[in-house]
Each structure stands twice: as C-alpha cells, then as structure tokens.
Structure 1
Amino acid sequence: MHSTHTIALPNRAPLHLGQTALVMGILNVTPDSFSDGGRHNLVEHALTHARQMLAEGADIIDIGGESTRPGAELVHVQEELDRVLPVIDALIAEGITAPISIDTYKPLVADQAIQAGACIINDVHGLQGAPEMADVAALYGVPVMAMHWDKSRDTSAPLVESMNRYFDATLARAEQAGIAGDQLMLDPGFGFSKSLAENYAILRDLRQACAGTGSGARSFAIVVGTSRKSMIGKLLDAPAAERLAGTIATNVLGYANGGHIFRVHDVKANRDALRVAQATLYGPPADLR
C-alpha cells in the first residue's frame, strides 16, 4: 500500500521510507509561532526539547527560525541565522545523530545550516521561491521537502489538478538544478492558502495530490504536516493546545492514504498512533506475534 523510497543523506545513513512512518519533531526557535512560539527560542530550551522529542521516538528534528503563520512578521536573513545556527551547533556538539532538517525558504540560511550540520531542506515554497534554493540542495547533495503553497492559484480549477501542476514546476526546477528525483519529498501544504474543505479533500486524496501530471505511474515520498493546525481548530472549535486528538486523527488517516513522514509537535502520542495504524495495515512486528 505504501510506496517505498530511499532518501540519501550526506554523511549519514539514508532514510528508508515505506510501511514504517517516520516522525519529524518540530523545533521552532521563534518568538511567534502559532502554537509554541517563545517556548524553545533559547538554545538551552531548544536542546532540552530536542532531547525530549528524540527520547519519545522522533526520527528527524526540524528546526525553524521564522514563523509562517498568517500575519507573522518577516525575519531578515541574519536574524534567522542567529536563531537557528546556535541550536544546530548545540545539537551537533551534543552528539545527536538524528537527521536535522532546516525549515527555511531562504537559500543563505539553508546553505549555512547545512554547513553547520543540517542534512535536509524543508522549503515551504517548494523550490519556487528563491531560485537559488534548488542550487544549494544540489551543491550539498541534500534532499528537499517541497511544500505546496500557491498563493495565486485559480480557486475555480480542481484543487488536485492545480497541485499537480504546481509540483510539475517544482520537479522541473529540481531537475534543472541537478537534484535527483528520488531526493524530493512532497508536502501538500495543509493550511497554506487552502479552505477548510480543501484541506480535508487533500487528506482524503493524498496520493493523487502529491503526484505531478507528468510523472506517470511514479510516486513520491509524502510529508504530512497537520499538527495543531487551524483545519483541526476550526472543525473542533479548539485552541492550538487542545488539538492533539484531531492531529492524531489526521496523521492516522494520512498514513492510511500513503503518507511517509509526519511533522508533529507531540512526538510520543503521534508515534504511538502511527504504530497502531501500521500494525492494522501490515500486521504487528514479527517478534510480537
């Protein structure tokens, strides 16, 4: 049911994606993120939280230095670097070997973060923002999580078709820069320029939304990022801190519909739920049978 992918990482073992869901722990080192802004923006707090997420089973740590919530202030390059680089340095100095993802749309931030020890780029503009981002990924041989965020899309056109055309452009930019096709992971961008109904339609049609029109039967690794988002809050009339149950539901459904990597704030609860979902679809581990 799940497509399989091997994502090469520089100086680390590759990511093997398939039946086993990977959990990416969110480490926002920002003062204004919608859910946990200001909680981990000191290096010692960020390091403590990273340790906790890894102890709870996080496979990847995703570090972000700028909030992308609606209305958030833009962060200049140097300020973003001042936020993320000390945290990456601290994680590396701690001896943490889990892959580190840098959540940024700025090529210089990605470049410096990779040199500091990050090995995945998480680009909310899907390689269609700053054109140099794809070049940075190709230069260092790091994979890219490319998200759909099309602020100018024609909302009268079918959503899945529109998303596939967007990802076609992402794939073309990656190919132009020399990024191997198997180094791309696609993120449908839950909550980014989409209505409530559209978010749930994407969750239902996840594989189709992350395909690309020119890819034929080819499939891509899929990243699901619904954690604590407004698509859950609006439906349940719940603030961000009370959206865990809704997040778990979306991740289990996302897994059942082909998702591979799940970006979350609450690692243990989501990891447990995904293990149960995997056992349901594929059977429990052999040593427990």
Structure 2
Amino acid sequence: MNFNNKPIWLKVRFNIGEKYSQINKLLVTESLNTICQRSDCPNLVTCWNNGVLSFLLLGNICTRSCHFCSIQNGTPNNLNLLEPYKIANTIKKMEIKHVVLTSVNRDDLKDLGINFWLKTIREIKKSYNSTIETLIPDFQWQQKPISLILKEKPEIISHNLETIPRFLKQVRITAKYERSLSLLKYIKTKCDIRTKTGLMLGLGETEVELLNTFQDIRKANIDILTIGQYISPSLKHYEVQTFITQKQFKYYKNIALNMGFLFVESNPLVRSSYKAYKHIRY
C-alpha cells in the first residue's frame, strides 16, 4: 500500500494553543521525552492543550526492535538520574491533571528499569495531585516488578497487546500473546486497579480474529480497551494492509461494549493515551 496514501479521516489539523506552547518549551528546557512526540501521535496537541501528558521514561532508545514502533532501538545511553524529579517538576509547573507514564524496554538493566519507575511515581505523588496511568512494558514477564508497580497504586495499569495473535511475532518480535494476557490478568487477581490494553487495526486481521481477541481480553478481566488505526512510521516498518473506516471502528466499539468492557475508545486516531483522563471516572 502507498505509504502516503492516507484517507482523509487520518489527516489532522493542529490548533496549537498556549498550554501546548508552554509544555513544549518546558520539555525542551528539561530534556524530557514523551511518547506523544516519539510516536508522532495525532492527538498530541489536543491532549497537551487539555493538560494531559504521556512521558517516556528511561531515555528514548529501546533495547528491542518491534516492527510497528517509531522509537529508536539500539544501545541506550546512561540513565538521567534527574529524570524522575524533572518529570514531577514539569507536572507541577504545568498543573497536569492526568499523566501517563510509559517507557522504552531496558533489557540491559539488571532491574529492567523498575526502580526508575517507582522513583518517578513517588516523586509525582509528592509534588502534585495528578492522577496516574502506568503503561508498563512486559518487564520480561517477571512478577516482582509488576507487583512493585501495584504497591504504588496508580489509577490505571495498562499493557498493550497491539495486535491479534497471528501477527504478534511479526510486529512485537519477542512478545507472546498468552504471556501478555496473563500479565494483565495477574494484576486483577492482586488488586482492584483498573486495567487497560490497546489494539492496532489495519495489519491484515480478519473480523473473526479481532472479535476472538476482544473475547480473550475480556476473559482476562481487562476493564478498558483502545482500538486505533495502525500507521507505519516509515517504509522500513511493517506495512499497513488496510485503512479501517470510521463506521467499522464504531461497529467494533459497540461489539466490545456489549462484551462488558467498562470503557472503549475506538476510532482511527485512537492511541493508547487517547482521552486517558476520562478512564478513571467510570
């Protein structure tokens, strides 16, 4: 499919406001990373203007090379030990009402980066009364780091499946479908924190495969589901097979809601953090 041949509903016009400009200036000054920028999120300006930010922890270089992701992979730089404090300070200065924390995978670190996660969450809670969603990596499917996140009691814990089982190996490389489901299911057995996952459409999945995946996710007792259109970051990444219509996204949303999900975000521009601040209110 032609990389530049996007349908009109995927073309976004940005209305840059004062809040966006202030946040952007502060992020540059503090040398902080956001997944909003690193993933070229189409909702970046809208979220920032609404006071919602998604920080990328542990630098901006990932030790894995997933075929859907725009984040640079390779050998990461040394940790910026001031990052947790700078993130907390930025949230306080800009009065960020809801923050999403995510990170690159740091398989090179002995603790897989969990202590940095914990430090950041604690500094945010000390600095400002912001609600927190932790969009966690798999931590190599080890229970200890996940249990430590649970003890910090974020409002939402999320971990993205990204796609149906048939494409997982091609798209996420090291991931395993059942293990990711088990990770989210484990969280629910230990606490009543809301859980969330996200799927990308347009990789070649069939409707039957997608609905079966919905059912698997619901059986894992996951509360919130986000569904959006996959957009290939470059010609070197996994190629978009289909652009899903807005009508089809609405159809999938209704099916998912009828399955019992607490909240479903489903349209072509949806990304993991889309309207994330609303998910704590239901």
**TM-score where L is the length of structure 2:** 0.50
1:62 alignment counterpart: 54
Q: How does 1:119-158 map to 2 (within 5 A)?
A: 119-125=132-138, 128-142=140-154, 143-148=156-161
Q: State how far apart, in whole Å, the 1-side matches of 2:251 and 2:239 are.
A: 13
Q: Is the 2:34–2:53 contact (alpha carbons within 8 Å) kept by the matching residues of 1?
A: no
Where does residue 49 of structure 2 map in the other structure? 52
Please report how far the alpha carbon of residue 112 of structure 1 lies from its aligned counterpart in structure 2 after TM superposition: 2.2
Q: Which of 33, 38, 41 pairs up with 1:33?
A: 38
**How is 1:1-289 mapped onto 2 (pairs within 5 angstroms)?**
29=34, 33-35=38-40, 51-54=48-51, 61-65=53-57, 66=60, 69=69, 72-74=72-74, 75-76=76-77, 78-79=79-80, 86-96=86-96, 98-104=97-103, 106-117=113-124, 119-125=132-138, 128-142=140-154, 143-148=156-161, 163=177, 166-172=180-186, 174=187, 179-180=190-191, 182-190=192-200, 196-198=203-205, 203-205=210-212, 207-212=214-219, 219-226=221-228, 229-230=231-232, 233-236=240-243, 252-256=250-254, 257-258=256-257, 260=263, 262=265
Offset of 1:140 from its aligned partner?
1.1
Aligned 8 A contact 2:228 2:269 in 1? no
Q: Is the 8 A contact 2:227 2:270 kept in 1?
A: no
Counterpart residue type for residue 56 of structure 2: G
Structure 1 residue 122 displacement after superposition:
0.5
Cα gap change, 1:254 to 1:33, in 2 (>3 Å)? farther
Change (3 A) 1:200 1:140: same
| C-alpha contact (below 8 Å) 1:188/1:202 kept by paired residues | no
Matched-pair identity in %:
8
Unaligned runs of 5+ in 2: 1-26, 28-32, 106-112, 125-130, 169-175, 233-237, 276-282
Contact 1:141 1:179 in 2 (8 A): no
CA displacement 1:20-53 (0-9 Å, x = unmatched): xxxxxxx96269834259xx8xxxxxxx875414
Task: Report SS of the residue matched to 2:181.
Answer: helix
Runs of at least 5 residues in structure 1 that lack an aligned partner in the other structure: 1-26, 41-47, 55-59, 157-161, 237-245, 272-289
Task: Give, as a single letter, the amino acid of the residue that structure 1 aligns with 2:190.
Answer: I
1:145 Cα deviation after fit: 0.8
Relative to 1, partners in 2 of residues 1:61 and 1:252: Cα closer, same or farther, differing over 3 Å?
Answer: farther
The structure-2 alpha-carbon separation of the partners of 1:233 and 1:115, relative to structure 1 and needing over 3 Å to count, comes to same
Q: Which residue of 1 aligns with 2:108?
A: none
Equivalenced residue count is 200
> Shift in Å at residue 148 of structure 1?
2.4
Q: Is the 2:195–2:223 Cα contact (8 Å) retained in structure 1?
A: yes
Q: Deviations over 1:56-79 (max 9, x none)?
A: xxxx54322447616731545724
SS at match of 1:186: strand
Equivalents in 2 of 1:52, 1:234: separation in Å?
33
Query: RMSD in angstroms over aligned alpha carbons?
Result: 4.8
